[in-house]
Amino acid sequence: MILEVRADLAPERRERMRNLIRKAGVARVEDLKSDLKVSVATVRRDLEALEEEGRIRRVHGGAVSMESRLEEEVFDDKANLALKEKRLIAEEAFKLIGTGDSIYLDGGSTVLELARLLAGRTDLTVVTNSLRAAAELAESGPRVILTGGELRRLSQTMVGPLTRVLLGQVRLDKAFMGTMGLSIDDGLTTTDPNEAFTKSLVQEHARQVILLADARKAGKISFARVSDLESVDILISDKNFPAKTARALRKRGLKVRLA
């Protein structure tokens, strides 16, 4: 029997296996076999060990991770709806960030795309109320400060009056905000009053407020009012944004950029 030179230590290999399963959520035995370059027998033994540790759960054909990830974007249609536009908007927003900036990341899928771009920026301080954004930066990257507050399940954000106290303690150079609705007459609106309260609080604190909103948000009005349009400094949207609305916004002093 010819055994190959062992490439790595058993704990090291299990760690890699663990990460593979955690990142993908699930993994098949055959995939792990070829990824880790070991036999199925070894994969099974490792899976057994990881299950014993409670990190995964074995299922026929492979294993699923027990280490819950905050983000389940895969099944989230809303996030994928205008993904391309959101990426472009995020990239445009990224350009505004300077070295050493202290920035705020709001909840919402567009801002989440921006968070993904920040994984390598160790020079920044990121304040956020979004668990998903935090999860995105949890491995490495900028200094992350979470606002605290009550967890709102739908948006996976921390909201409410408890947030206020912490926000008073930090400096925010730039706040990158999302929104549900953007209307000339009604300003920024969102679904939940607590969420709205937190957003408005942030906008008061930040030196510069940058709104990331794809074109579909234009003209929409949601339930809870966040703020006037005047409290926004820069709006970043995509090419589909209605020109008429853009003009009206510029007239009110907002800078509008269409990525």
Partner DNA sequence: TTGGTTTTGATCGTTTTTGATCGTTTTTGA
Partner DNA sequence: TCAAAAACGATCAAAAACGATCAAAACCAA
Decide which of DNA, its own copies, none touches 228; Cβ closer than 5 to 8 Å per partner kind. Answer: none
**Could you please report the per-residue DSSP string of 163-202?**
HHHHHTTS--SEEEE--SEEETTTEEEES-HHHHHHHHHH
Nearer to DNA (CB atom), residue 30 or residue 76: 30
- Which residues 59-118 are close enough to bind its own copies by CB under 8 A? 59-62, 64, 67-70, 75, 77, 80-81, 83, 86-87, 113
Residue 133 burial by CB count (10 A; 0-12/13-18/19+): exposed, middle or buried?
buried
Residue 103: HSE in the Cβ half-sphere, 13 Å Cα cutoff = 27
Instruction: List the Cα angle 231/201/76 in 5-degree steps.
Output: 90
Q: Please state the closest distance from residue 25 (CB atom) to DNA, in A.
A: 16
Q: Which of 163, 179, 200, 237 binds its own copies (CB under 8 A)?
A: 163
- Which residues 51-110 are close enough to bind DNA by CB under 7 A? 58-62
Nearer to its own copies (CB atom), residue 140 or residue 185: 140
Q: What is the DSSP letter of 120?
A: T
* Residue 29 tokens, joined: 């035995």
Q: Encode burial over 104-113: b for 16+ CB neighbours within 10 A, e otherwise.
A: bbbbbbbbbb
Summarize as ranges the residues that interact with DNA (CB under 7 A).
1-6, 10, 13, 28-30, 38-42, 44-45, 48, 58-62
Summarize as ranges the residues that interact with its own copies (CB under 8 A).
6, 8-12, 14-15, 25-26, 28, 49, 52-55, 59-62, 64, 67-70, 75, 77, 80-81, 83, 86-87, 113, 131-132, 134-140, 143-151, 153, 156, 158, 162-163, 165-166, 169-170
